[in-house]
Structure 1
Amino acid sequence: MIAIAGAKGGCGKTTTALGLADAFAQAGTPTVVVDADRQLPNLHVVAGIDREPTIAALASGATISDVAHQHPDTDDVAVLTAPKSSQTIDLQTVLDRLADEPVQVLIDCPSGAGPDVVEPVAAADRIVVVTSDTGRSADAAETTIDVARRLDVPVAGTVFVRCDSVPADLGSRFDAPTLGVVPDHESPLTADATKSAYDRLAGALTESRGNSNSTLPFQGERLVTGVDAIDRVLDGGVRPGSIVALCADPASASELVLSKLTATRGTLYLSTQRSKRTVRHALETSAFRVGSPTIRHLDGSVIEQATGLVTALPDGANLIVDAANDLERSDRGAYIDFLNGVKEHLLETNSVAVFHCLSGAREFESGSGSGSGFEHGHRLVTRHHADVVVELEAIDRETAIDHVLSVSKRRGERPPTEKVPLFPSNVA
């Protein structure tokens, strides 16, 4: 299920959705296009079909085949039109029903970045972001990518419409791959040049889907973390070369998890908030088996200090960054360069990095500057670069506190859906 989105109205989402639908159908994949725009629906107009019946009819017992409109020009393409303002529909229920159908589903999302966009994007397996070569459209595309990252929905890539080539000043602007371009034409759904472009885009999406669903290759066996619950849900541990984001509330016992990580192999422990002596004391007084990591305290230019230390990480080691928040407040470009450098070194040394991502009272902020969008700076960037995202939380059961974990991201694999106890018998 692919969401076709872009925060700017008129950027070409609907035309792209129908162009891709035709391309998938021509390649032998039946496709359904869903109009998820409740405010300014346009899919039925561009497709040249009646609006009635809308998907609202599904609430009164109609089947999908009863409601779906056959595209007048393309076999194996059906369209589900948006409900009228007087009609109500549970879009999530509709999309859940479509998920069980042997078809490719494309969701034509509304413009903007508000709640109406969140629902269809969150339901998708991945998202395609549509933009033109204007600055306003590019700004809107970045907003859409941010929304997808917050929802942990993979961004398949960007599509530049009404362009003969990728704009030189925009090709590397987005934190997402470029899928291709669609040239400008007065008849974009029927012209040979644009149809060929949509064929190439559909092929790129089919290829990337195959890659994302496959098991990523890696050298050697998985590396155990030493935390039984994590190793269990990750089928024995994490792959060498992985970045793990350990996202946790301060009351979630995450520091105990970090302590246990040091027992598995040689560890470089970078502390941004606690002194070296404080970290060492916490390890020495831990109730669990711990190791004897190399501890370094970062202050001042944390990115520069951390970069120098990471380059000396030996083969098969652990890197712990506790906490990542201070690094996330750095310049965005510098932080991205740092994460890419960490990833490259981890792959070279078959090591694993764990970024301790502490959460606060609120997740988002509306301020400006390098931390715009997140209370702790570029948390979105950390989660995007992470191969595994582990969520820790403390649940108050009135009579006891349960510490549980879940995996919300597992690159190349579908993450497990259940929450599991962090410590046996709630012993923390």
Structure 2
Amino acid sequence: MPFWLIAITFAVFVFYTDDYMIAGVLPELASDLGVSESTAGQLVTAYSLVLVIGAPLIAFASARRTRLGVFVGASVVFTVANLLAAMVDSFWQLMVLRVLAAGAAAACLPAMFALAPTLAPPEKRSAYIGIVSTGIVGALAIGVPFGTLWASLFGWRGNFIVFAGLCVLSMVLLFGVREQLRKPGELVSARTHLTALSSRPVVTVLLGNTILLGGALMMFTYFGPFAADFSNSSLRQRGLLFAVAGVAGLIGSIAGGIYVDKKGASAALRIGFALFLGTMVVFAILTVFAPIPLAVLVALTLVWSLSLYWNAPAMQTMLLDSAPDSATQVLALNSSSTYLGVTVGSIAGGITLALFSPFALPIAAAALSAVALLVIEVLGRRTATSERLAHDSAERTT
């Protein structure tokens, strides 16, 4: 594995973990700043919203900058914001600093995902995308537990200090591969970008990605209460389940990228959707016999998480194929659609939990996943047909 790929993946891990690391220390942070836990939770919401809105805008604004310049500038802002966050005593001061840190992350993440397929050998393009995606999975599987443990030893302010340090380490690694990062952004006009990004293939994949993640992250967000009722699992056992989900996600992201390179994105997506839908159906059937042995829940969790992250390289490859000259911009929109999906899943899961029970979650998740599959398959097929007819018509005209 090339060193530049390791450097980029580590940077993605740092930027994504910085969003989630507050989740484990909300009670202590809220108590120190004199706000409720629900109010303190808005720090996570603000970070996510900046990524949703800021990533596409910053990607356009920095389109002609070199990757190295964007990474270094944003990393400096990110580091300073985290250091200052460890010193403030006001919730609103902390909110401003979280917005600054999120803006820095939004400037870097799409460009990092776009750089991987640009520098990769053609036969390994999707595999490299999958490896970079492990930075996201690692943020949940490793970063959040690490941040919680660190905070238990040094307090919640220690989290911001350690992530400032990790960002400095990330800058050192990126500077070590600066020759690969001197490549400028996409040198095409804004009009060309907008035309590509508003095309039906791009919109179709983005819509499908949002719906799919809405269903998948609905289960992830409320997996605690579901697992507690499904197998009478304890808090420690549920911690084990999240670790299993993280490891399976890492494997799924890498394996999915390799499969896309060999068999194509469409074939990979069908496998990912089939595994996810099948797992949700099994979950729904077994709720009738709850409580189910923990070993069964572990096995199903492994397949569910693997299938979710298996799809990520395929989605990104389809987007890159649809807008090859606007890689950074289209992946910025993909980042936004991902966070939008998380928001949709959180809201839909909360409503499902309030109206029914945790056992209704896999049914709702399966329904959203089926809709996502229909969007990608049906709209994608119509797009391919219309483009083929337009091509044939043009050839007859000439």
What is the TM-score of this pair, normalised by structure 1?
0.24
Greater RCO (CA < 8 Å, at least 6 residues apart):
2
Structure with greater helix share of residues: 2
Larger Rg: 1
